[in-house]
Structure 1
Amino acid sequence: MSRSERSLLLLLISIAGCGLGLICVARADSARAYNPLARPVAEAVERLYNQVLHATIEDARQRLPHLNDSEAIDKQYFEDLDTTLSNEDYYSTAYYIFAWINSQLMAQQRPDKLLLEVLPGEKTAIRNFFLKVRPPLESYLHRSHQTRPELITNVTRWAGEQQDSVVMSYIEFPRSLQAQLPELQLMDYTKLAKALIEGVATGIWGSL
């Protein structure tokens, strides 16, 4: 595993907001226990969140063959994604590929050719995500008799954010949502990153 790949993994783990131990696993399992009010909202948020991952990855997949950029992600990782059957495994892989595509942005480095082409559409998709996710969150807060003004203010601001920083807001959203509303725990988007750090990833990812 190269230094840049390990740096990306460690950054994603830090974004997860917890370490690799059993405490994190136990907290996630507890938070995902079925809650008839919270669970449908969490699933709705996941669907909207996953739409951005899917749109960006498909855009990158289509553009990649036309680019002459040795630094871009290899197409084999997109092909591996197509063979992933488990829903959480699929989207944790998609999340990692999404982070890889945006790794220069995350590291505050000059974007490669792929990111430069993908970024405008990606930012539009992210803004639409925040626009669409606000109503179910507001409805949930009303029905559960809670107030989270900071969360709603941030989501509203991100829905209109034009700067590249909106990408990081999107990447960090599962953690920030959990911090404000633990019962709306989303799927573990950093599952693959954790497996890579622990050295237990399989298939093509095990060769990194």
Structure 2
Amino acid sequence: MWTIYDDPDRGRKVSMAELASQRRGRADAVLRRIARTGIASLTLGAESVANTAEHERVARTADESNFQIVMDAFRRWSGSEGSLFDLMADGAEIEIPGTAAHCGVFNKSVFNADIAIPFIARFSVAPIPSVRRIWADGDDVAVQAQAVGTRRDGKPYANNYVFILKLHEGRIARATLFLDMVAFNDVWNHVEPSTSKRRVE
């Protein structure tokens, strides 16, 4: 039995068989488009996975490189062959967070002249850091260290430090330094500095 349906696409009437044939054709076309889209999606997905893997490889390489750069600097510092200042860019910024007198944000030269040199001048044996832990995430490297030394009044000095370092092209562009300011201020306020200490840069 034939049933007649309106065909809005052609503006005429067609039989059930013809309509079914048209619908099968349209369904096949849709399936072909889905198949092509699916293949394209799979291809894009594979490219995305590859790009992600490459990005992770590059990130791991950056992590390892910056980790090694900072670790080598601390090894030299621990061996009295330099200091972290050797790794700092000329325009580096140094921050000591807090509200104590010596907290704030400084450029490298001001920090060196106003804080680092006067502080080291208060020691007969300068504090040498020993790395406890070190983390690297791209251009950011964090170091937990303990430093011990001997003050000019003969008393021992010990302090715990956390350095958060931002590297750029193998140099420190910014350093954030956390430490026990009570121990720092005890040295600063009660020990007279020597006038013969050289620059730590």
Q: Which TM-score band (shorter chain)?
A: under 0.3
Bigger share in strand? 2
TM-score when normalising by structure 2? 0.23
Report which of the two structures shows the higher radius of gyration computed on alpha carbons: 2
